């Protein structure tokens, strides 16, 4: 039965999105954003609103058709420290801050779903939690704070959607095999050597030589320590030292990005990085300052829920728009939720390059086709109806 399609507030979804896009706020500072969400939710019937943290909002809808599971739907709300370079009419008015990852669209879609479902209380057997989460972009992340605040204590399953450009407008990708994203770790390293003139290298502890040996050894970790069946990437992105060709510098700095999925492999990567850096430094008489940064864990989509979401989405979008997606080589703090309860994280197509959506998330020219948003709302509503709905 699709008559609820007519209840989707399409124009309002666009209005909410454009307001949020024009007034972005950074992680842990989403005071006006969260208040706007709270005030909007207050106009919907049958919702109980709470503020688990100063800049998050949770709306709870208890169905009256009987007892059932508690299902959570999540949207994040924070923006990025990026100067917007698009030409949209609703361009950011906050200098140096932009919704360059699409969190404004996530909020608008979920507000749309809350608007529809809040009027269907008598058709639901169970409870829906609409989680509007702060601070996805800044480690340790808002998701972990909400878990710590007990928001998932009564939740049986959780679902989330992330918008991605360069994919067909309104298409929905679902990873069925488990990990939807990777863990994102890395390090910043300072090598302290001893400088000299290039004509007397025997008097130096050359940090470039030390760092070069470290780079080569670090690059062997994946090939010599990680089973071929596991995913791991280590990439040195920066290596800086010296200011002149005839001077050996005192110091060198390196930075590195590390991607994994399996937690055991993740821990192994850190262990081997630390060992190699320490051993190479000791061999050359250098000292090091290592800042190893643990980011978000990999998001794990429970295969059974992924298949369920795939079938549910197909009902409202059709077979042509729903597809099995490869793993996204990015990270997301939705992983904090899927460590606690079964969940599924889905990818919504924001539009193709020829439609003006050729720049990926976190780019100052990031754009989406707003026509995609109604499909996100449709999927969120259909999931709840399939899980909790009563005729």
C-alpha–C-alpha distance, residues 106 and 109, integer Å = 5
Backbone angles phi, psi at 260, to 5 degrees: -145, 175
Q: Is the peptide bond before 113 cis (omega within 30 degrees of 0)?
A: no
Local structure of 244: helix, strand or coil: coil
C-alpha–C-alpha distance, residues 78 and 266, integer Å = 27
| 200, 246 Cβ separation under 8 angstroms | no
Q: Are strands 251-260 and 232-241 parallel, antiparallel or unpaired?
A: antiparallel
Q: What residues act catalytically?
A: 296, 370
Identify the bridge partners of residue 86 per DSSP, sorted by sequence position: none
Write the DSSP assignment of 44-70 as a string of letters. Answer: STT-EEE-SSTT-EEEEEE-SS----E
Radius of gyration, CA atoms only, the chain:
24
Chain-centre distance for alpha carbon 215: 29
Q: Which two tokens stand for residue 361?
A: 């998330």
Q: Are strands 157-164 and 70-76 parallel, antiparallel or unpaired?
A: parallel
Identify the bridge partners of residue 238 per DSSP, sorted by sequence position: 255
C-alpha–C-alpha distance, residues 270 and 189, integer Å = 13
| 73, 159 Cβ separation under 8 angstroms | yes
Q: In terms of residues, how long is the chain?
A: 391
Helices (H), the chain: 10-22, 31-41, 103-117, 142-148, 207-218, 220-225, 263-284, 303-317, 335-338, 373-388
Nearest to 158 by CA among 148, 149, 167, 147: 147
């Amino acid at each position: 039965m699709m008559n609820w399609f007519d209840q989707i507030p399409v124009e309002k979804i666009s209005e909410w999105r454009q307001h949020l896009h024009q007034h972005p706020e950074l992680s842990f500072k989403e005071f006006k954003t969260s208040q706007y969400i709270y005030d909007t939710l207050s106009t919907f019937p049958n919702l109980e609103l709470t503020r688990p943290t100063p800049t998050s909002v949770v709306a709870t809808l208890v169905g009256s058709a009987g007892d059932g599971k508690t299902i959570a739907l999540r949207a994040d709300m924070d923006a990025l420290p990026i100067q917007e370079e698009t030409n949209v009419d609703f361009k950011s008015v906050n200098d140096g801050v932009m919704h360059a990852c699409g969190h404004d669209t996530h909020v608008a879609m979920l507000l749309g779903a809350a608007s529809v479902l809040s009027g269907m209380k008598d058709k639901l057997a169970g409870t829906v939690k609409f989680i509007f989460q702060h601070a996805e972009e800044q480690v340790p992340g808002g998701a972990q704070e909400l878990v710590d605040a007990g928001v998932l204590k009564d939740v049986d399953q959780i679902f989330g959607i992330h918008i991605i450009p360069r994919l067909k407008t309104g298409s929905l990708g679902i990873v069925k095999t488990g990990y939807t994203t990777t863990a994102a770790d890395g390090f910043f390293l300072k090598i302290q050597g001893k400088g000299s003139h290039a004509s007397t290298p025997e008097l130096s502890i050359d940090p470039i030589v030390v760092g070069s040996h470290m780079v080569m050894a670090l690059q062997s970790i994946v090939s010599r320590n990680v089973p071929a069946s596991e995913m791991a990437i280590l990439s040195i992105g920066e290596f800086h030292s010296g200011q002149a060709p005839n001077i050996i510098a005192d110091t060198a700095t390196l930075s590195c990005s590390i991607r994994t999925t399996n937690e055991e492999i993740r821990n192994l990567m850190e262990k081997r990085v630390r060992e190699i850096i320490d051993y190479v430094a000791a061999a050359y008489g250098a000292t090091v300052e290592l800042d190893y940064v643990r980011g978000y864990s990999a998001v794990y989509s429970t295969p059974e829920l992924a298949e369920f979401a795939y079938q549910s989405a197909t009902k409202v979008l059709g077979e042509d728009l729903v597809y099995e997606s490869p793993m996204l080589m990015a990270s997301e703090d939705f992983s904090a939720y899927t460590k606690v309860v079964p969940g599924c994280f889905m990818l919504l197509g924001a539009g193709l390059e020829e439609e003006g959506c050729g720049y990926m998330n976190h780019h100052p020219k990031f754009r989406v086709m707003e026509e995609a948003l109604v499909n996100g709302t449709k999927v969120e509503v259909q999931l709840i109806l399939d899980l909790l709905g009563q005729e």
